[in-house]
A and B are shown apart, each in its own frame.
Chain A
Amino acid sequence: MGSDWLQFVAGGLTAGAIYALVALGYSIVYNASHAINFAQGEFVMVGGMAAVALVAAGLPLLLAVPLAVLAAGVVGVLVEKLALEPAQRSGRADVVTLIIITIGVALFLRGLAQVVWGKGIHALPAFSGSEPLALLGATIVPQSLWVLAGTTLAVLGLGWFFGRTLTGKAMRATAHNPLAARLMGIDTRAVMRLSFALAAMLGALGGVLTAPITFTTYDVGVMLGLKGFAAAMLGGLGSFAGAVAGGLLLGLVESLGAGFVSSAYKDAIAFVVILVVLFFLPGGLVGARRSERV
């Protein structure tokens, strides 16, 4: 039984790492605009599908992966520039309007992917073989290690970016008080654009890393977007540490729930845990201390 336990944890951490990447994307956009970007799941899809298309076009994996992530970044900027900026510039768009626009963007991207890439299911070759590794009785595929390492690096990179660079600090300042930031000479439009690019690239990284394990389709973003959003809420929207904690916790609860209770209620168990947490800590695990003045 000991090895079963480890197996559930290994599966849960892999899934959780992806939820964490998606949740981070939500938090970054939320900080810049106070809007929830419901196209976040579609960025995951764009990353995975673009990588598959590039590999199919004959590019080596080593080149296809960064290109796919960059392509998603470009899509993120375009979404901000073409869909959200005009609305914001009109001056009448409140947060709810922005959220509804992102839902439209999600539908558009999903439809476009169907036309461009078709409705089939695609798999990316594993980065380093698919021979499972045995670890204390549990078995994991090498790709899981890539997922965990990729997520860790992304989180560390984000920490450095927001903590140490001027641009990162400008973004944090904008999140804290947009008006004051603008008065200090920060281009809040550029911050918004950069937020979308970062969010899209994080999502795409998740999509690329998991495409060898879970496959990718035009509608893979729907469920991942939902789970990532749940993870962001669980951890506390806008908090980076919270997003990571929320993602990992959600993945673990799902996996352990399926393993020890019942696989039929896997999703239900996860969502019940979220409801309970939010009932006692409405701000999420990490965001509880922050209060907003109304």
Chain B
Amino acid sequence: MAILRSIRRALSPLALPLAVALFAAPATAQEPIRIGSFLAVTGPASFLGDPEAKTLEMVVEQLNAQGGVLGRRLQLVHYDSAGDAEKARTFAKRLIEQDRVDVIVGGSTTGETMAVVPLAEQAGLPFVSLAGAVVIVEPVKKWVFKTPHTDRMACDKIFVDMKARGATRAALISGSGGFDKSMRAECLKVAPNHGVQIVADETYGAADTDMTPQLTKIRASNAQAVLNAGFGQGPAIVTRNFRQVGLTLPLYQSHGVASKEYIRLAGEAAEGVRLPAAALLVADLLDAGDAQKPVVTGYRDAYQKRYGSEVSTFGGHAYDGLMLYVHAVKAAGGTDKARVRDALEATRGYVGTGGIVNMSASDHMGLDLSAFRMLEIRNGTWSLVR
């Protein structure tokens, strides 16, 4: 105790100036707007979290260079959750209780997001998720919003296109991963709404290397079009095997393979394959009058200049998440959480990389089918289906 006391005595002359420095600084300069984030920068979902984190960093820099928002600087507080829901929860707690952030923009995967939803709801903190599944915004949660398209929208978009081409009997082939399963379930659910009948429903394992048996069965069915809900290398193998077994039906892939890598892996077999994707992927192909064109080319050029790698739609989700919040802060005239939340919910006509966002009390995503563009692979690259 004696030691403690002597330390305290030694420090006491410092205590007053220190306290003044701590409390006075924020009073003179404007307190920064604290943007909290947890993303899967490493781990199996790093292909999502890595571009998202880079995007947040870049956009915060850009905004600060332009003088911040409402005259206040932005400060990014970021943690790497490695795609682990348990870690995401811990970090979200820290963001709320210690870092006292004004908003959370993050959550690369649905698992992480859902683990954090109760915390955000309890704390009354706006939370913009960057994960895909419908469950995040359905049923609507007061404080939770999301930017990416849902798999249900992808199913809708594909079935609409199928019908337009005269196909009413579809075969479904999907992988065993989380994304694949969720999309398969959504497609099965919405198919009747479009008058499309699912006549075959095949699955394959995550590490499977030969899908010819499943496709041979589909060949024997009376399907008029085939839909592959999948992610990673599976869809590329399906595409190759599809041509190998001599199928000539229209083949649809999901937005999960919307990357150049898919075309590279599937090679010539990918010719004629259609898939729904965000406008960001085909920035150059958009009409000059397209509302999204300036946003997507601006973001893409900035990202490629800063990091020297190709943009992905996932980074775009982070861009949209942060910009939606910034717009809401401007509309609310400050960072008061309840007012920002109301402003987020009232977002109308925000043009982002993912589409044009019109939120409402019953829709915390605000995207409709026009957010997806139907692409066809022609001559080894994307082309827009008009």
> What residues of chain A have their CB less than 8 Å away from a CB belonging to chain B?
1, 4, 7-8, 10-11, 14-15, 119-121, 123, 130, 132, 134, 139-141, 210, 213-215, 217, 220, 222-223, 255-256, 258-259, 263-264, 266-267
- Report the bound CA distance from A220 to B202 in whole Å: 23
- Report the bound CA distance from A221 to B243 in whole Å: 26
- Point out the residues of chain A lying under 8 angstroms from B207, CB to CB: 220, 222-223
Q: Whose C-beta in chain A lies nearest to the C-beta of B204?
A: A263
Give the 3 A-B CB pairs with smallest separation, nearest first: A214-B209, A223-B207, A259-B213
- Report the bound CA distance from A273 to B161 in whole Å: 43
- Point out the residues of chain B lying under 8 angstroms from A223, CB to CB: 207
- Point out the residues of chain A lying under 8 angstroms from B177, CB to CB: none
Question: Looking at A130, A222, A258, which has the most chain B CB atoms within 10 Å of its CB?
Answer: A258
- Point out the residues of chain A lying under 8 angstroms from B244, CB to CB: 132, 139-141
Q: A123-B267, A215-B233, A222-B207 are in contact. Are A132 and B202 (CB under 8 A)?
A: no
B265 contacts A266, C-beta separation under 8 Å: no
Question: C-beta contact mask, B183-205 vs A, less than 8 Å → 1, else 0?
Answer: 00000000000000000001111
Q: Whose C-beta in chain B lies nearest to the C-beta of A3?
A: B216
- Point out the residues of chain B lying under 8 angstroms from A222, CB to CB: 207
Our pick among A119, A121, A267 for the contact of B205 (Cβ within 8 Å) is A267
The distance from the CB of A168 to the nearest CB of chain B, in whole angstroms, is: 32
The distance from the CB of A113 to the nearest CB of chain B, in whole angstroms, is: 16
Q: A139-B245, A258-B213 are in contact. Are A214 and B204 (CB under 8 A)?
A: no
Q: Whose C-beta in chain B lies nearest to the C-beta of A121?
A: B233
- Pairs across A and B, CB under 8 Å, 25 listed: A1-B220, A7-B213, A7-B216, A8-B213, A14-B210, A119-B46, A120-B261, A121-B232, A121-B236, A121-B265, A130-B267, A130-B269, A132-B243, A132-B244, A141-B240, A210-B209, A213-B237, A214-B210, A222-B207, A256-B213, A263-B203, A263-B213, A263-B214, A266-B204, A266-B205
- Point out the residues of chain A lying under 8 angstroms from B208, CB to CB: 266
- Point out the residues of chain A lying under 8 angstroms from B240, CB to CB: 130, 141, 213
- Point out the residues of chain A lying under 8 angstroms from B342, CB to CB: none
- Report the bound CA distance from A213 to B203 in whole Å: 19
- Point out the residues of chain B lying under 8 angstroms from A134, CB to CB: 246
B268 at the interface (CB under 8 A from A): yes
- Report the bound CA distance from A255 to B241 in whole Å: 14
- Point out the residues of chain A lying under 8 angstroms from B205, CB to CB: 266-267
B217 at the interface (CB under 8 A from A): yes
- Point out the residues of chain B lying under 8 angstroms from A267, CB to CB: 205
B168 at the interface (CB under 8 A from A): no
Which residues of chain B in 252-309 are interfacial with respect to chain A, using CB atoms and an 8 Å cutoff?
A: 261, 264-265, 267-269
Our pick among A4, A10, A217 for the contact of B233 (Cβ within 8 Å) is A217
B213 contacts A15, C-beta separation under 8 Å: no
Question: Looking at B47, B240, B243, B265, which has the most chain A CB atoms within 10 Å of its CB?
Answer: B240
A130 contacts B268, C-beta separation under 8 Å: yes
The distance from the CB of B41 to the nearest CB of chain A, in whole angstroms, is: 13
B216 contacts A263, C-beta separation under 8 Å: no
B212 at the interface (CB under 8 A from A): yes
B210 contacts A255, C-beta separation under 8 Å: yes
- Point out the residues of chain B lying under 8 angstroms from A14, CB to CB: 210
Our pick among B213, B220, B265 for the contact of A215 (Cβ within 8 Å) is B265
Q: A15-B209, A132-B244 are in contact. Are A215 and B236 (CB under 8 A)?
A: yes
- Report the bound CA distance from A267 to B176 in whole Å: 12
Q: A7-B216, A121-B265 are in contact. Are A213 and B236 (CB under 8 A)?
A: no
- Report the bound CA distance from A258 to B176 in whole Å: 14
- Report the bound CA distance from A139 to B237 in whole Å: 15
Q: Whose C-beta in chain B lies nearest to the C-beta of A6?
A: B216
Q: A215-B237, A259-B217 are in contact. Are A123 and B265 (CB under 8 A)?
A: yes
- Point out the residues of chain A lying under 8 angstroms from B217, CB to CB: 4, 259, 263
- Point out the residues of chain A lying under 8 angstroms from B209, CB to CB: 15, 210, 213-215
Q: Whose C-beta in chain A lies nearest to the C-beta of B202?
A: A263
- Report the bound CA distance from A267 to B217 in whole Å: 18
- Report the bound CA distance from A109 to B258 in whole Å: 30
Q: Whose C-beta in chain B lies nearest to the C-beta of A5?
A: B216
A259 contacts B268, C-beta separation under 8 Å: no
Q: A132-B246, A263-B203, A267-B205 are in contact. Are A123 and B264 (CB under 8 A)?
A: yes
